[in-house]
Amino acid sequence: MPPGIAPHASSDMFKSPASFKKPRAKRWDHWITQESSSRTGSSIKDSAKYLKTPGLIPLGGGLPSCDYFPFERIDVKVPVAPHFSEQDTLETGIIRTAGKHDIRNGKSLYDLEVCLNYGQATGSAQLIRFVTEHTEIVHKPPYADWWSILTAGNVSALEMCLRMLCSRGDYLLTEEYAFATTLEAATPIGLRIVGIKMDKEGMLADDLDHVLTGWDELERGRPKPFVLYTVPTGQNPTGATQSYRRRQAIYAIAEKHDLCIVEDEPYYFLQMEDYAPGHIHSPVETERIPHDEYLSALIPSYLSLDTSGRVIRLDSFSKIIAPGTRVGWITGAEQLIDRFARHAEVSTSTPRDFDQ
């Protein structure tokens, strides 16, 4: 764990050695908008990498002494799996404490001294490590140069991705019925929407291919779109979940037409069995499912299929912990995540401290 306040950190510090042996992503320079390619980010945040230089007196970022943070510790009472109900939490929950100086007292890898100060826009090293290890365990991205960094949740991350990839007047590919907030984020950026037909498994690969193959640039007044926004699991608003075969078919179309897939997956970890009429499912209350069993039951993600590095995946804690935890994470090819991070440095700045 890199020591100190606001240290520079990246997924490369926490990925397994085996992950670096995979082939590298393709180059996507042609996807990046002028706005995004001209971002230099924050020189103050960038200067953090020199802070350990012996003899250097830093006159850059204003990192206050934690003496002035008016919190000595925070206590949270949380459930112990598998006893998640409110009553169970009251009776059998445990209290977790984070103190101001847990790191220097050798009690923890993370504490209030670090998390309440200014941090890197990519998130604390501690949480980059968590989301990186989690991503490798769950998705095993098939290429080497991927990064995960923290975001302020999926809505914010999506809006930033649109600015990175789309210019005023461009078309954006989405499901025929799409998440209202995405449309409301895209419209002021000047994007026009192309809805792809759906069935009960969500977006139809054939219709996507049909729309792109028949794209008439003269008639549409714009080149063929290349950004595909999709909610593969528990799609909002239809609730449809794409099967593995459907995801494979759509990924093949993305390869054929050179698409960037933005998978917005706040509901990915809430997958349940098919609903059978008449049968009431008890949520896993009494039984603890082994991690491997749970993970192997999840429908593989686009990220796990992504041999080219063309998928940007958005994850969020908003549906798996609480909506007010305004922290999520984005995973994709390093070259794209780097552009995203430069934007974050001058917008979201530091992912929310207590939430981290």
Ligand X SMILES: Cc1ncc(COP(=O)(O)O)c(C=O)c1O
- What's the one-letter identity of residue 104? R
Which residue, 140 or 352, is less far from ligand X as judged by CB? 352
CA trace torsion 84, 87, 91, 94 (10° rounding): 40
Helix axes 334-345, 154-165, angle to 10 degrees: 110
Which residue, 301 or 308, is less far from ligand X as judged by CB? 301
Subset of 173-232 contacting ligand X (CB under 6 A): 179, 231
- Token pair in block for residue 187: 């419209």
**Per CB under 6 A, 123 contacts ligand X:** no
Residue 133 parent element (H or E): helix 125-139
Which single residue is written with the structure tokens 């698409």?
259
Which residue, 110 or 179, is less far from ligand X as judged by CB? 179
Task: Provide the minimum distance between the beta carbon of 234 and ligand X in the complex, in angstroms, as a whole number.
Answer: 8
Residue 180 parent element (H or E): helix 180-186
Q: How far apart are CA 266 and CA 251, in angstroms?
A: 20
Among 41, 318, 349, 353, binds ligand X (CB under 6 A): 318
Task: Provide the minimum distance between the beta carbon of 314 and ligand X in the complex, in angstroms, as a whole number.
Answer: 7
Q: Are 131 and 306 in contact (CB under 8 A)?
A: no
Which residue, 115 or 155, is less far from ligand X as judged by CB? 155
Among 64, 82, 221, 323, binds ligand X (CB under 6 A): 323
Task: Provide the minimum distance between the beta carbon of 160 and ligand X in the complex, in angstroms, as a whole number.
Answer: 12
In 3D space, the residue among 354, 232, 251, 268 whose CA is nearest the CA of residue 311 turns out to be 251
- Judged by CB under 6 A, how many residues of this single chain contact ligand X? 12
Task: Provide the minimum distance between the beta carbon of 182 and ligand X in the complex, in angstroms, as a whole number.
Answer: 7
Among 36, 120, 148, 154, binds ligand X (CB under 6 A): 154
x/- map, 240-269, ligand X, by CB under 6 A:
------------------------x-x---
Backbone angles phi, psi at 46, to 5 degrees: -65, -30
Task: Provide the minimum distance between the beta carbon of 46 and ligand X in the complex, in angstroms, as a whole number.
Answer: 27
Q: How far apart are CA 178 and CA 235, in angstroms?
A: 8
Task: Provide the minimum distance between the beta carbon of 221 and ligand X in the complex, in angstroms, as a whole number.
Answer: 29
Among 316, 348, 350, 356, binds ligand X (CB under 6 A): 316
- Piece in contact with ligand X (CB under 6 A), picked from 74-82, 106-114, 246-254, 316-324: 316-324
Which residue, 125 or 330, is less far from ligand X as judged by CB? 330
| Bridge partners of residue 172, in order along the sequence | 193
Task: Provide the minimum distance between the beta carbon of 319 and ligand X in the complex, in angstroms, as a whole number.
Answer: 7
Task: Provide the minimum distance between the beta carbon of 153 and ligand X in the complex, in angstroms, as a whole number.
Answer: 3
- Piece in contact with ligand X (CB under 6 A), picked from 23-31, 134-142, 153-161, 190-198: 153-161
DSSP assignment of 34-63? HHHHT----HHHHGGGGTTSTT----SS--
- Piece in contact with ligand X (CB under 6 A), picked from 41-49, 81-89, 151-159, 238-246: 151-159
**Per CB under 6 A, 302 contacts ligand X:** no
Task: Provide the minimum distance between the beta carbon of 162 and ligand X in the complex, in angstroms, as a whole number.
Answer: 13
Backbone angles phi, psi at 244, to 5 degrees: -60, -45
Query: Cα angle at 37 between 34 and 41, to 5 degrees?
Result: 125
Among 141, 153, 309, 332, binds ligand X (CB under 6 A): 153
Residue 311 parent element (H or E): strand 311-316
Which single residue is written with the structure tokens 């998440």?
179
Q: State the pairing for strand pair 171-175/192-196.
A: parallel
Subset of 55-94 contacting ligand X (CB under 6 A): none
- Token pair in block for residue 85: 């109900």
3-state secondary structure of 274: coil
| Positions in the binding site for ligand X (CB under 6 A) | 153-155, 179, 231, 236, 264, 266, 316, 318, 323, 328
